[in-house]
Amino acid sequence: MKKILLAFLLTCAFLPGEAKNYYFNAQNGQDNYSGLSPNHAFRSLAKIAELKLIAGDSILLAGGITFYEPLILKGLKGNHDKPIVISTYKTEGFTKAKIDAKDFANGVLLLNCSSVEVSNLFITANAGRLEPVNGKLPEMRCGVLVKSNYAGKFSHINLKNLTIKDVYYEEPGFTRGKDEVKTSNGTQKYGWGIRFIVEGEALLDNIKVEACDIAHVSHTGLKLTGKKESILNIKLLNNKVTNVGGPGIQMSGVKKGLVSGNLIDSSGSKKDSRNWGRGSGLWTWGTSDVIIEKNAFLNANGPGDSAGCHIDYNCNNIIVQYNLSANNAGGFCEILGNNYNCAYRYNISINDGFRIKGKDGAFQEGKIFWLSGYVGNKIKPKGPFNSYIYNNTIYTKNEMIAQVAIATSASGVLVANNIFHLEGVSKFVAGDQLKAESIEQVEIDNCFFQNNLFLRKNSWPKEAIIKDTKPLYGDAAFTNKGGFKLEDYIPKNTALIKDKGIEIKKINGDAVGLTVGLAVEYDILGNKITAMPDLGAIEIK
């Protein structure tokens, strides 16, 4: 009996401890308290480093209280079913707890962590003096930084319902040099909203950013940076990114993901002199197997780039579908070099690509349609390959010039079932990035350009190196052309639109098509597609 009792006691000694809630209150807490109840809360977030956090533990910050320090977690591992949680606890007159990280590099830092959830916090970091680390000043300031730099896999990071506003590296009044906006991604120090960075032999798997509100940061709102396929399985859902100085969302080195339900408005903003002043609503680089759908990309600004959503080079299987793209200076459809089997389908574009090169400092033309072979400076253009562009509705007002650029290096292009409702003139232009992207007449290999509806015969530039071989002409009679709701582009000209689409098949020589399939079951409004598809992004009921 004694041996059995001893074995039981030894077993209990090695069982994991019970998960705990640790409370923090920067106003009424004390660091010599237990931290185990709101009435005995810790005061300082630095106290977290002394806790032995285990799966299921929670760090809870008092609602309505401001913490003037960063929240730093290093090497923590929850598990998938019991993550370590950082959030707000309710107080009288409850609002989110606020982290004011002025004078610090990050509001929240997760370094080499797994199975951690951060939710319901307000984070700001508006300039302030930074202390050198190992003799060097930090290169950036972030609202939230998730970083993995140890060999191995880190997984299940969930950021939810965070408000991140006013994140700037420099003090108010700082002004960027006029040429800084011309650099490829900025060379100076900036504030960022949420950043994921993967270095060395680390992998980061299962990332979710959901229902976050990011505004007024000097560069990118939400950015994921890794080497090839070092960030796996991402979900960016229902976030709002507004008035950021760089792109809204950007990803590099990502493999497999869903970007859905996000509102990106006024990327590339110049409202603050500390902003970069250039940026697409979303862009991908070195990324594969990502679906970008049901988002709104609005009012992107900048003298270059600054499309609604563009696919930068070295990507595979990026599907841009069911999105609203409107008033973006750089344009709508943009696929760069060495991209394979990417698609724009069932999107609505309104007055995209209005930028004119040479006007107001612009160094690139805006374009409604751009296939670019660019793969880096002083490198021979390559591709893009097997680009599928079908069933989009593209509207430009009479005052605009609808510009088109097509690289001579492109190979494999399908353009079908689109509505090009271009009220003004159209123009074929060079690709801006490379002199080799000229406007010479060449034949593009494996090009299928048929069955698109144009407002009139001169709607597509006659100089373009690809053009519709079986075009349709006429007015779709939109419900409210020039409006900014999807429903404004329901066609009323049923006889011209209904069932006039053709079946989309693989491009000649392409063995893959689209990995998600070429056939589409629903239109941008969720209407089921029956019989033959209609023209454009909306099925007429």
> Domain coordinates of the chain in residue numbers?
278-541
Query: For residue 441, what pLDDT is reported?
Result: 58
Q: Is the model's pTM score more than 0.85?
A: yes
Q: Which two tokens stand for residue 143?
A: 């609202």
Query: For residue 131, what pLDDT is reported?
Result: 86
Query: For residue 94, what pLDDT is reported?
Result: 81
| Cα within 13 Å of Cα(492), Cβ side | 6
Determine the average pLDDT of the residues in 175-194.
Answer: 96
User: CA 414, CA 213: separation in Å to the nearest integer?
Assistant: 37
Q: Note the pLDDT tens digit of each residue in 476-515.
A: 999 999 999 999 999 999 999 999 999 999 999 999 999 9
Sign of CA dihedral 180, 181, 183, 187: positive
φ/ψ (deg, to 5) at 217: -120, 155
pLDDT: is 85 or 15 the higher one?
85
Query: For residue 160, what pLDDT is reported?
Result: 98
φ/ψ (deg, to 5) at 136: -125, 145
Q: Note the pLDDT tens digit of each residue in 454-470.
A: 999 999 999 899 999 99
Is 290 within 8 Å of 257 (Cβ atoms)?
A: yes
Is 66 within 8 Å of 88 (Cβ atoms)?
A: no
The three-class DSSP label of residue 276 is: coil
- C-alpha distances (whole Å) from 276 to each of 177, 310, 355 are 10, 18, 18
Q: Which two tokens stand for residue 350?
A: 């309104």
What is the 8-class DSSP label of residue 83? -
Query: For residue 118, what pLDDT is reported?
Result: 98
Q: Note the pLDDT tens digit of each residue in 260-308.
A: 999 999 999 999 999 999 999 999 999 999 999 999 999 999 999 999 9
Determine the average pLDDT of the residues in 56-64.
Answer: 98
Question: Quick one: which H or E segment has residue 413?
Answer: strand 411-416
User: CA 252, CA 250: separation in Å to the nearest integer?
Assistant: 7
Tokens 């700082």 belong to residue: 174
What is the 8-class DSSP label of residue 514? -
Q: Note the pLDDT tens digit of each residue in 307-363.
A: 999 999 999 999 999 999 999 999 999 999 999 999 999 999 999 999 999 999 999
φ/ψ (deg, to 5) at 522: -130, 155
Note if the bond before 16 is cis, omega within 30 degrees.
no
Q: Note the pLDDT tens digit of each residue in 28-43.
A: 999 999 999 999 999 9
Confidence of residue 398 (pLDDT cuts 50, 70, 90): very high
Q: Which two tokens stand for residue 440?
A: 């010479």
Q: Note the pLDDT tens digit of each residue in 158-170.
A: 999 999 999 999 9
| Of 465, 481, 370, residue with least CA distance to 424 | 481
| Of 153, 246, 150, residue with least CA distance to 195 | 246
